[in-house]
Each structure stands twice: as structure tokens, then as C-alpha cells.
Amino acid sequence: MKHDKYKDNNLRQYLSFFRMRFIAGLQYRAAALSGISTQFAWGVLGLLLYKAFYETDPNAFPMTFQALASYLWLQQAFLSLFMAWILENEIFQTITSGGIAYELCRPIDLYGMWFVRSMANRLSKAVLRCMPILIFAAFLPSPYGIGLPPDPIAGLGFLLTLVLGFLVVVAFCMLVYISTFFTYSPTGIRMVAISVVEFLSGGVIPLPFLPDKLRWLVELLPFASMQNVPLRVYSGDISGMDILAKAGLQLFWVVALIWLGQSITRVALKRVVVQGG
């Protein structure tokens, strides 16, 4: 009974941290409006850029232009869920400034607390921005707008892989935060991590556009389990049993990255030294 009470109390604490961070994130409406306008611009520019290539030979590309348009608009709509550069400076400052001492006084697991905070921060941004972008894209003429999933299975698969991909992103970003315990400044690791994730997750170009041999290797890495999978499932580029296979790989990386993050956190907290008075 005591163990069950302890688990229930921990769950309530995590939910409280999630709720507080989520509500705080919803307050930045002006930032959301500027972000929406920026994402509209990037979405349109991306479509026009690819359209110029597709006009040379539409059959030379691995995705139809309609599928690519859906990919690009979903990418903009759920930008805050998948982009590695959306990190919380507050967590970095907590580590580098010594404020970690206050965090360690809380009767809650540090990794779990930061994990739910990171989730809430990203979700609050997505809630404010996704619907205007999706509505705008839905009213664009074909093939420039976003289409519906090819079938109900693709729709359900998209929702499943969207959640798993989001968790992979958060778990990977937790490793970036934790690495700050072992460095004088998080800037270097942060820049490298962002660059790697942007390219290998399909943030710069969709992964089907990569050479076959390179793509086969990249799709085994955790980065391909981020935005690449749900956006391609929605557009029909991944279908049938491949959806379950990709979702299984996503789940593997969620578990592996969380385990790795918790293990490194335990090591870091054994050697952390906070100076001052």
C-alpha cells in the first residue's frame, strides 16, 4: 500500500510540473503569432523551391509533389514537437549557475521532472501554432495544400508515430541537457546536436531524397524515428506493415534513450559539485 501511495504521489507531482509548464507556455501568444507567420513563409518558400525541381522531371523523385506538400506543411505545423533547437535555456542555466542544488532538494526524480517539463514546453507551442497552419494549408489548391491521409490506417498510424516520434525527440534532447554536467559550456554540444538532428531526421530534406545506401543506414538511427516517420506515414510514403515496423523502432529508441539518459544522470549527480555560499 505504501508503495502504491508513493507512486501515486510521484505521478501527481509529474502532472503538476507538466501543468504548470504547459500553462506558462500558453501565455506567449505574441511569440506564437510571429512564429506562425514565419512558418507560413518557410512553408511557401519550401514548396516553391521543390516545385522548381519537380518541374524538370516529376518522375525522378521518390515522393509525389502532393505527398511532399503534406510533409512540408505538417513539418511546419508540428515544428515545436520535432525540432532539436527548441531547448529550454532555463535547464542549461540551472546546471551552469549552480541552481541545480535547489532542484536536488525536491523530493522527485530530476530526470523525470525535466522530461515532463520539456514535453509541456513543446506541446504548449504546438497547441498555439498547429491549427492556423493546418487550416491555411487545407485551403490551398492541390497539389500545394495538405491532403488527407490515403486511408484510415495511415491516419491512425500517423497519430501513433507522432506520439512516439515526439517522445524520441524529448528523450534525445534530455541527453543534450545532461551533457552540460560534463562541460564548461553547453554551446558546442548544443550546436553539433542541432545540426546532426536537423539533417538526419529529415528536417532539411525528407530522407527518401537521400541516396539509397545512406538512407538505409540513417533510417536505423534514432534521428529518423523523429519527424521522418510520422510525416511520411501521413503522406502515404510509409504504409501497411511498414508502419508497425517503424513504430516498433521508434519505441525501441524511446526506451533506449530514456534508459541512457537516466543512467548518465545518475553518474552526473554522483560527481556534481556546487560551489558558492
Q: Specify the amino acid at residue 237.
A: D
Mean pLDDT of the chain: 86
C-alpha cell at 19: 501543468
pLDDT for 274 beyond 70: no
pLDDT tier for residue 166 given thresholds of 50, 70 and 90:
very high
Whether residue 143 is preceded by a cis peptide bond, meaning omega within 30 degrees of 0, is yes
The more confidently predicted of residues 195 and 252 is 252
The more confidently predicted of residues 187 and 2 is 187
Q: In this predicted structure, which of 10-14, 42-46, 271-275 has the lowest mean pLDDT?
A: 271-275
Q: In this predicted structure, which of 168-172, 187-191, 224-228 has the lowest mean pLDDT?
A: 187-191
Share of the chain above pLDDT 90, in %: 36
Give the tens place of pLDDT for each residue, 180-194.
888 877 888 888 888
Share of the chain above pLDDT 70, in %: 94
C-alpha cell at 27: 501565455
Distance, CA of 181 to CA of 110 (rounded, Å) = 13
Residues near 28 by Cβ (< 8 Å), separated by ≥ 6?
128
Taking the CA atoms of 129, 135, 138 and 140 in sequence, report the sign of the dihedral they define. Answer: negative
pLDDT of residue 8: 58
pLDDT for 230 beyond 70: yes
pLDDT for 3 beyond 80: no
**232 in Cβ contact with 239 (< 8 Å):** no
Which residue has cell 545506401? 213
pLDDT for 179 beyond 50: yes
C-alpha cell at 62: 521518390
**How confident is the model over 73-99, as a mean pLDDT?**
86
C-alpha cell at 223: 534521428
pLDDT for 2 beyond 50: no
pLDDT of residue 142: 83
pTM of the model: 0.89
pLDDT tier for residue 22 given thresholds of 50, 70 and 90:
confident
